[in-house]
Amino acid sequence: MTVSPSLPVRPGADAGVRPERPSVTELRLSAFAGHRNAAFPLGPLTLLAGPSGSGKTTALRAYEALARLGGGARLDEAFPDPHGCVPEQARPDAQSRRGFRLGCTADGPEGPIRLDIAVQAEPELRIVGERLTSGGLTLLETALVDPSRPVVQAAWHTAGASPVTRGPLPDDLLGTALLPLRVAGKTDGQRRVLAAVEQMVVALRSVFACDPRPRRMRAAVPLGSGRLLRGCDNLADVLWRTRTECGRRHAQLVAAVRDGCAGPVADLLSEPAPGGNGQGDAPRAARGGSPGVGPAVGHGVSHGGSHGVGHGWGRGPGHGNGPGHGNGPGHGNGPGHGNGPGHGNGPGHGNGPGQGSGTGAGHGRGAGPGLVRAVLDRGDGIRTPLALLGDGELRYLALALVLFTGPGVLEVDPVAEVPAALQTLTVLADGLDRCLDPRQRAQLLGVAARMGERGHIRLVGAVSDASWAAGVPGATVVHLDRERS
């Protein structure tokens, strides 16, 4: 393994000035799958480069597993296939035990903090050792003492009447993430432990693993949470939300799409899909009656005075000729009941106020596009559905969206107790250059470099060849080979 930094890192990285935002600056795979004694330096923009089989995906998988442990995930959730993490040449001990070791370093206001973990994968999955250190001082150390019990014996730095405090911790959770619940913070030593733990957890938790899947991105999707999934399947749903939330970032995204996609691009947006059906948050016409009125996705029932029954779903009020009851007033020819109104002189049933007439029950769908699709606005009224774009354009567009957004839009688990301004989001992108042409690769790396310079976004991407990244400011290229380290 060799490391090729393009240019010196940002000012402030020297020993005299500590970075304000915690971030992972080194990933260590001491004995993990095909890696042995490997240490990968990580900067604001890092490319893991090497041929197929060199362990790029394995390194990203290890990083993501550490991030999940830092967020409080159980060991079997972070490592769903623990046997695949055990080095092939690892020999079982006298108790038939085999495992793997990995760790990382998080830099920040407290200086470099090291975390190292030893995991037993066979015969049962458990953490058998963990060490958190700072400047040569051990802040936390755990060890498996009694294999018959599901705990490890932990000792953490106190520097009070007793130099350390001891106690059991569960063997399927990261001890570092549990310490804030066990350490009172009464002594200087305890406060140092808590500060180091916070730095490590904050650095680990804000991670988004992303691998856009063009085939799924082409399909229309229902409106949902508006938070981007790792495969970017719901890109149209996210655009429906983000286009109006931050005009400046959306303008930057459109400019990047214009640079990376063929043909003119005036805008990037979502629109109701032709024939779309279902639930949504914006008005649309009702089916099976008159047009739906008002925004809605909720549930309400109105009982008409002429023995008709109408049903509507809505988050907001509907309107008609009578009183109603619920979370939103419903109006009809009789009382309405529910979380939102029915509307009309008879029944309507739908995702929003539907209208109808008569005394029998009727059903209609209203209030918001059930399915939305993403389109490129070419100008002059011409719109190109993303379903017609090539794989490279779709992957480029999705990755650009990821880099221009943040934890509020991506499906990640940021640390709520820490202000967003003090957190850094790390994007893990396997196959970063897959399907991209040279222009798209260069444009995307430029976006990543600019966002990394601001300190809020870091990118770790896996590529087969990083020669095209030479000269990009702030880029660190880690070269792997099939021999592995």
Helix (H) or strand (E) holding 379: strand 371-379
User: Which residue is it, tokens 């200087």?
Assistant: 188
The pLDDT mean for the chain works out to: 80
Over residues 244-265, the pLDDT tens digits come to 887 888 999 999 999 999 999 9
pLDDT band at 411 (very low <50, low <70, confident <90, very high): low
pLDDT band at 17 (very low <50, low <70, confident <90, very high): confident
**pLDDT value at position 238?**
92
**pLDDT value at position 16?**
60
Over residues 208-217, the pLDDT tens digits come to 999 999 999 9
- Tell me if residue 48 falls in helix, strand or coil: strand
Helix locations, 246-290, DSSP H: 247-260
**pLDDT value at position 122?**
92
**Mean pLDDT along residues 400-421:** 68
Over residues 383-402, the pLDDT tens digits come to 999 999 999 999 999 999 99
pLDDT band at 471 (very low <50, low <70, confident <90, very high): confident
| CA 464 to chain centroid | 24
**Mean pLDDT along residues 40-63:** 95
DSSP secondary structure, 175-243, as one string: HHHHGGGT----SHHHHHHHHHHHHHHHHHH-EEEE---HHHHTS-EE-----B-TT-TTHHHHHHHHH
**pLDDT value at position 416?**
55
**pLDDT value at position 227?**
87
**pLDDT value at position 408?**
66
Question: Whole-angstrom Cα distance, residue 163 to residue 189?
Answer: 9
Higher pLDDT, 28 or 323: 28
Preceding amide of 123 cis, omega within 30: yes
Question: Whole-angstrom Cα distance, residue 356 to residue 351?
Answer: 14
Say if residues 165 and 154 touch (Cβ distance below 8 Å).
Answer: no
Over residues 90-136, the pLDDT tens digits come to 999 888 999 999 999 999 999 999 999 999 999 999 999 999 999 99
**pLDDT value at position 327?**
43
pLDDT band at 87 (very low <50, low <70, confident <90, very high): very high
pTM here? 0.77
**pLDDT value at position 297?**
36
**Mean pLDDT along residues 258-282:** 79
Over residues 174-188, the pLDDT tens digits come to 999 999 988 888 889
Question: Whole-angstrom Cα distance, residue 24 to residue 66?
Answer: 11
Query: Nearest to residue 35, comparing CAs of 58, 14, 12, 11?
Result: 58
pLDDT band at 158 (very low <50, low <70, confident <90, very high): confident
**pLDDT value at position 482?**
65
